[in-house]
């Protein structure tokens, strides 16, 4: 692992200074993990969902709280582990184990937060009650296609320093502003610590290379008028290798479906890439090239390289041959595809450092100063498949290895590699266009990512005129530097033009013995060094925020009790910058020396992408009331207590105007212990700075050319539409939209809280909750999508027209021959597809949350605590719009093949990353020095809608139940071992593999490994 950035050392030094300042406190006793710690005055009176200090208005709100004991039971090591343990948390869309890891993805130590599966960006994340900065690198997700979204990075949350996590499962835009559509996650870090605690944990996934070492130091000291506390958390994790699991070891998983009727013949589980070391090429000619009468190319000049065992028109090396036409993706030639899993990592190696210092100091009896300093840095390294040739390039006729090169080079030297007996090739030779190809000999892509995040907060709080007041200034910044090796197009063509053995050689194939990976006949190291370059992406976000707020729980007395009020103002300045490599952003363009074609991207494997910069100012004001209507003392039948929360917020955005949103919530106690609660709120999500400021950029897209699939089926070349292997890669050109509107939403919920007062104390304390909720969103930002556009073109061309957004090359003689006899007019290859950001149609999501809490204390058998939390999705409906609806109707009518894949037009429930049920439960027992904890999690089955059987039925991704277990012992009065705690545990103790999918596993829901053992030791001074 590379050395951490020097700023990490500065952060550690700051923490060590804190430790050095507290020697007198080390002998004092710190609270044990299962004991409630003293919270700061702020923590005592403010709960997420309300700004009124001291008010009980949170009784009307569905809030889930994970305390230290429950966090311990999850076995979480990082923020992503912790967030995945919350049933209401949806699919994780930013994840190294889930996304195609191109330079356009948010790579490195980053995972997203996604309540209710509404999509990244619909959940507001707070730290100690104030918003945190978003991770600076955007990416498109499975929900948005290539619409760039930004997420909060859950891994920047230090689990070892977390006191509790509050999850507000209700819309809160009226309280907190933008992003709080699905709810709010507030992480409250430990503070007010007096002492020193050191902990080390080591663990790993059984049967894999994944190992993880975590060390943290937590120290603090009380002063006469305040406290200073802080911690250092360090993690060193090795990579999870693709070879570690059978479902990740290969891109070709067809053998895993061999006994699954309807799926056993599908090619979908064969995810090997069409671009391998066996090049598809095209000579610049309009006639067939022959050697001694044997055709080497098609009439359009197409040919490819393959092992002699696959067929040989003429040899060009030992057991390596030229064959006419492009390599077919079916039959024996399917084994020329490249296995992208071999030699790669599933999750990167990670080195992570979190440093956090918090303090407060009483300036006077009525005024207290407080502050926070936070620092996070992570470095990761991932191994990915070798670079591909995405952007076509011409190999000049002068290339030393060109079999159709000149008879004599320009220096008068005879060409040793021009084939003899050629017809159709002039004396001066022919240039050759390099198509599908992978630079295996250049080695794997090594991706290094440095993530950095800091937070500086200072403020004052106190009391005046009966009001609690608080003001703070926050500055936070985040930066990510993504570095990987790549192939420079200009340098590549310069090397291809050489007439010496150091010219790059794309005609030599890969390995005859292992055709799907490796390169046994590499180009010279001189050639590889000449074409190699470094690709760097630097993205950065900043957040500057100032706020002032006042609250009072007893502004005036009403018949039902005291009226509470809170009001405040907030000012934010947000910036976002995505600085792309000079070879991508138009600084260094590529001009092909053969045909003069200009490409903005000067890199072989990456589409062009301009730099993006944006900033906005947001000013907001809010007002909140806690209104008691009926109190217990009024003795009204069936209304023991009735309270309302009424709130509103006005926000002004410098880039799109004003937004005002209300909220009202009710808590009705029918009798003491039986509460009915309900809420209604409106929310919004502002388009992020990249969506509004991006100019046209390109992304690699790939899917089948369904018109060619139809031609294959009609010509009898395939038996079923699912057997189609007409995969095509093209450039998806996406345009930003400065006129995007905010996404609007409404959030409704009604629930019941029951605390049975009639049960004897010997049975413990029970609380039952149930909440029915509904979220409706409008104007969601999205794209039509490349695949949908290609299906549109398929339907249109069968009816004699075309989709103008799908731009194809003119059909050549090979294309004409391909479509002959099918009744379909010939078309050329797809070159690019145009698309752009738009406000699409609405979505409607509904569900029910159930929870049971039980606590039994001070029994002869110890203390017990249990919790069950159930999240059920009842409906997830998203209108795909008239475009997809028309295609769906055409498919139902038989105008296009019934196996044609389409976006789900309406019901998204239990499909892909949206299971109907997610359940978690914890059980903890403690007695004296012993403690045992268990955590069980269940995820129900979903359909994989892109993987269909021969009858059109989707593959069912099975449900999964996993259990975590730990045991703990704390030495008491044992001399030097006193106050030492030892814990041993396992996550997924029954070693359940993730349910199988066509790509191996569903990374948005599941971990790509089984049982994970860990042990830790903690010493408190």
The pLDDT value given to residue 729: 79
Q: Cα-atom radius of gyration of the chain, to the nearest Å?
A: 31
The pLDDT value given to residue 170: 87
* Band of residue 96 on the pLDDT scale cut at 50, 70, 90: low
* C-alpha dist (Å) from residue 524 to 316, 492, 500, 620: 17, 13, 11, 62
Instruction: Supply the mean pLDDT for the chain.
Output: 88
Asked if the model's pLDDT at residue 17 lies above 50, the reply is no
The residue ranking higher by pLDDT, 870 or 104, is 870
Which residue in 897, 750, 730 sits closest to 809, CA to CA?
A: 730
Asked if the model's pLDDT at residue 904 lies above 90, the reply is no
CB hemisphere CA count around 216 (13 angstroms): 22
The pLDDT value given to residue 11: 43
* Band of residue 484 on the pLDDT scale cut at 50, 70, 90: very high
Asked if the model's pLDDT at residue 598 lies above 50, the reply is yes
Contact (Cβ atoms closer than 8 angstroms) between residue 957 and residue 941 = yes
Structure tokens at 772: 């029915």
Asked if the model's pLDDT at residue 8 lies above 70, the reply is no
The residue ranking higher by pLDDT, 668 or 96, is 668
Asked if the model's pLDDT at residue 831 lies above 80, the reply is yes
Predicted confidence (pLDDT) per residue in 368-411, tens digit: 999 999 999 999 999 999 999 887 899 999 999 999 999 999 99
The pLDDT value given to residue 34: 39
The residue ranking higher by pLDDT, 606 or 698, is 606
CA–chain centroid gap for 404, Å, is 47
Mean pLDDT of 125-142: 85
Asked if the model's pLDDT at residue 100 lies above 70, the reply is no
Mean pLDDT of 881-892: 84
Structure tokens at 33: 């993990």
The pLDDT value given to residue 298: 94
* Band of residue 111 on the pLDDT scale cut at 50, 70, 90: confident
Considering only 533-542, 867-876, 901-910, 949-958, which range has the smallest mean pLDDT? Answer: 901-910
- According to DSSP, residue 907 is labeled B
Spatial CB neighbours of 692, under 8 Å, sequence gap ≥ 6: 614, 655, 656, 736, 737, 738, 740
The pLDDT value given to residue 621: 96
The pLDDT value given to residue 141: 62
Mean pLDDT of 752-778: 92
- According to DSSP, residue 173 is labeled H
pLDDT above 90 covers a percentage of the chain that reads 63
Q: For residue 417, which phi and psi values (nearest 5 degrees)?
A: -110, -5
Residue whose tokens read 């903005």:
600
- According to DSSP, residue 993 is labeled P
Predicted confidence (pLDDT) per residue in 283-314, tens digit: 999 899 999 999 999 999 999 999 999 999 99
* Band of residue 12 on the pLDDT scale cut at 50, 70, 90: very low
Q: Which helix (H) or strand (E) holds 175?
A: helix 173-176
Asked if the model's pLDDT at residue 26 lies above 60, the reply is no
Residue whose tokens read 């409704």:
748
Contact (Cβ atoms closer than 8 angstroms) between residue 431 and residue 393 = no
The pLDDT value given to residue 281: 95
Asked if the model's pLDDT at residue 479 lies above 90, the reply is yes
The residue ranking higher by pLDDT, 103 or 126, is 126
Mean pLDDT of 912-917: 90
Predicted confidence (pLDDT) per residue in 259-286, tens digit: 999 999 898 899 998 889 999 999 999 8
* Band of residue 16 on the pLDDT scale cut at 50, 70, 90: very low
Mean pLDDT of 718-735: 84
The pLDDT value given to residue 426: 96
Contact (Cβ atoms closer than 8 angstroms) between residue 476 and residue 133 = yes
Structure tokens at 567: 């009001």
Q: Give me the numbers of helices (H) and strands (E) for the chain, helices first please.
A: 12, 48
* Band of residue 606 on the pLDDT scale cut at 50, 70, 90: confident
Predicted confidence (pLDDT) per residue in 157-178, tens digit: 888 888 899 998 888 888 888 7
The pLDDT value given to residue 502: 96
Asked if the model's pLDDT at residue 840 lies above 80, the reply is no
The pLDDT value given to residue 447: 94
Predicted confidence (pLDDT) per residue in 996-1008, tens digit: 999 999 988 899 9
The residue ranking higher by pLDDT, 48 or 730, is 730
Pairwise CA distance, residues 646 & 680, whole Å? 10
Asked if the model's pLDDT at residue 351 lies above 90, the reply is yes
Label residues 837-854 b or e (16+ Cβ within 10 Å = b): bbbbbebbbbbebbbbbb
CATH superfamily of 6-245+346-385+447-483+538-582+609-695+738-782+840-878+909-1020: TonB-dependent receptor, beta-barrel domain (2.40.170.20)
Pairwise CA distance, residues 642 & 656, whole Å? 39
The pLDDT value given to residue 43: 36
Considering only 842-846, 914-918, 955-959, which range has the smallest mean pLDDT? Answer: 842-846
* Band of residue 39 on the pLDDT scale cut at 50, 70, 90: very low
- According to DSSP, residue 115 is labeled B
Asked if the model's pLDDT at residue 535 lies above 50, the reply is yes
């Amino acid at each position: 692992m590379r050395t951490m950035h020097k700023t990490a050392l500065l952060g550690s030094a700051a923490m060590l200074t804190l430790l050095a300042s507290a020697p007198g406190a080390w002998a004092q006793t710190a609270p044990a993990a299962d004991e409630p710690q003293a919270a700061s005055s702020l923590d005592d009176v403010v709960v997420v969902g309300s700004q009124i200090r001291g008010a009980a208005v949170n009784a009307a709100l569905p809030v889930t709280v994970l305390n230290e004991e429950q966090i311990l039971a999850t076995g979480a090591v990082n923020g992503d582990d912790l967030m995945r343990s919350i049933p209401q948390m949806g699919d994780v869309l930013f994840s190294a184990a889930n996304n195609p890891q191109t330079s356009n993805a948010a790579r490195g130590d980053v995972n997203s937060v996604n309540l209710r599966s509404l999509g990244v960006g619909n959940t507001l994340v707070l730290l100690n009650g104030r918003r945190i900065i978003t991770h600076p690198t955007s990416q498109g997700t499975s929900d948005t296609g290539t619409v760039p979204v930004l997420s909060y990075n859950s891994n920047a949350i230090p689990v070892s320093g977390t006191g509790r996590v509050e999850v507000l499962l209700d819309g809160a835009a009226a309280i907190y502003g933008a992003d709080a559509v699905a709810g709010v996650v507030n992480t409250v870090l430990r503070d007010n610590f007096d002492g020193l605690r050191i902990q080390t944990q080591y663990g790993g996934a059984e049967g894999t290379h994944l190992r993880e070492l975590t060390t943290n130091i937590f120290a603090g000291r009380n002063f006469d008028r305040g406290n200073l506390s802080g911690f250092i958390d360090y993690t060193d994790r090795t990579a999870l290798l693709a070879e570690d699991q059978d479902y990740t070891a290969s891109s070709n998983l067809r053998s895993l479906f061999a006994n699954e009727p309807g799926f056993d013949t599908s090619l979908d589980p064969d995810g090997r890439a069409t671009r391998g070391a066996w090049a598809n090429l095209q000579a610049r000619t309009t006639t067939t090239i022959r050697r001694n009468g044997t055709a080497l190319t098609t009439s359009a000049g197409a040919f490819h390289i393959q092992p002699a065992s696959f067929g040989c028109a003429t040899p060009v090396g030992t057991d390596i041959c030229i064959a006419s036409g492009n390599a077919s993706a079916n039959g024996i030639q399917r084994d020329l595809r490249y296995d992208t899993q071999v030699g790669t990592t599933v999750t990167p190696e990670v080195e992570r450092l979190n440093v956090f210092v918090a303090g407060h100091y009483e300036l006077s009896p009525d005024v207290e100063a407080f502050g926070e300093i936070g620092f996070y840095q992570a470095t990761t390294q991932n191994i990915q498949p070798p670079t591909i040739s995405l952007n076509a390039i011409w190999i000049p006729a002068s290339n030393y290895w060109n079999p159709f090169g000149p008879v004599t080079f320009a220096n008068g030297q005879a060409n040793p590699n021009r084939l003899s007996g050629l017809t159709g090739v002039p004396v001066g030779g022919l240039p050759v266009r390099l198509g599908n190809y992978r630079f295996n000999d250049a080695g794997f892509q090594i991706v290094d990512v440095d993530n950095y995040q800091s937070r500086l907060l200072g403020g004052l709080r106190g009391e005046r005129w009966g009001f609690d007041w608080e003001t703070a200034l926050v500055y936070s910044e985040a930066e990510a530097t993504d570095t990987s090796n790549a192939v420079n197009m200009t340098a590549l063509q310069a090397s291809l033009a050489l007439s010496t053995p150091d010219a790059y050689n794309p005609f030599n194939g890969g390995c005859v013995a292992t055709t799907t990976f490796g390169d046994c006949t590499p180009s010279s190291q001189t050639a590889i060094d000449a074409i190699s370059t470094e690709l760097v992406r630097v993205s950065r976000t900043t957040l500057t925020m100032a706020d002032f707020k006042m609250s009072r729980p007893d502004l005036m007395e009403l018949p039902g009790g005291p009226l509470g009020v809170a009001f405040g103002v907030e000012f934010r300045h947000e910036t976002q910058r995505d600085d792309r490599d000079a070879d991508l952003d138009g600084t260094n363009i590529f001009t092909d020396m053969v045909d003069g074609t200009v490409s903005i991207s000067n890199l072989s494997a990456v589409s062009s992408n301009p730099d993006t910069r944006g900033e906005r100012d947001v000013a907001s004001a809010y007002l909140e009331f806690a209104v008691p209507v009926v109190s217990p003392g009024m003795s009204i039948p069936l209304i023991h207590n009735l309270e309302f929360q009424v709130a509103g917020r006005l926000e002004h955005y410098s880039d799109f105007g004003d937004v005002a949103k209300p909220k009202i919530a009710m808590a009705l106690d029918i009798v003491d212990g039986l509460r009915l609660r309900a809420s209604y709120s409106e929310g919004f999500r502002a388009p992020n700075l990249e969506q509004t400021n991006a100019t046209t950029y390109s992304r690699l897209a790939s899917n089948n050319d369904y018109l060619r699939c139809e031609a294959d089926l009609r010509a009898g070349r395939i038996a079923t539409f699912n057997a189609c292997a007409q995969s095509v890669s093209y450039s998806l050109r996406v345009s930003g939209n400065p006129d995007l509107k905010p996404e609007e939403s409404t959030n409704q919920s009604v629930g019941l809280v029951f605390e049975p007062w009639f049960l004897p104390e010997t049975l413990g304390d029970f609380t039952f909750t149930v909440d029915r909720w509904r979220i409706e969103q409008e104007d969601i930002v999205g794209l039509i999508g490349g695949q949908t556009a290609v299906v549109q073109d398929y339907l249109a061309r069968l009816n004699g027209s075309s989709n103008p957004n799908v731009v194809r090359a003119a059909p050549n003689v090979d294309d004409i021959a391909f479509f002959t006899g099918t009744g379909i007019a010939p078309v050329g290859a797809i070159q690019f597809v145009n698309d752009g950001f738009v406000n699409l149609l609405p979505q409607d999501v509904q569900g029910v949350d159930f929870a049971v809490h039980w606590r039994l204390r001070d029994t002869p058998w110890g203390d017990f605590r249990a919790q069950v939390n159930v999240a059920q999705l009842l409906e997830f409906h998203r209108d795909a719009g008239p475009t997809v609806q028309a295609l769906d109707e055409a498919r139902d009518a038989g105008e296009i093949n019934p196996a044609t894949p389409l976006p789900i037009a309406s019901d998204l429930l239990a499909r892909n990353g949206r299971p109907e049920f997610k359940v978690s439960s914890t059980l903890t027992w403690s007695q004296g020095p012993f403690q045992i904890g268990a955590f069980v999690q269940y995820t129900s089955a979903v359909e994989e809608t892109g993987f269909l059987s021969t009858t059109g039925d989707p593959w069912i991704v099975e449900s999964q139940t996993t259990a975590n277990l730990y045991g703990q012992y704390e030495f008491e009065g044992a001399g030097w071992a006193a106050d030492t705690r030892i814990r041993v545990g396992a996550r997924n103790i029954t070693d359940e593999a993730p349910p199988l999918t066509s790509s191996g596993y569903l990374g948005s829901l599941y971990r790509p490994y089984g049982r994970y053992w860990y042990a830790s030791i903690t010493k408190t001074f």
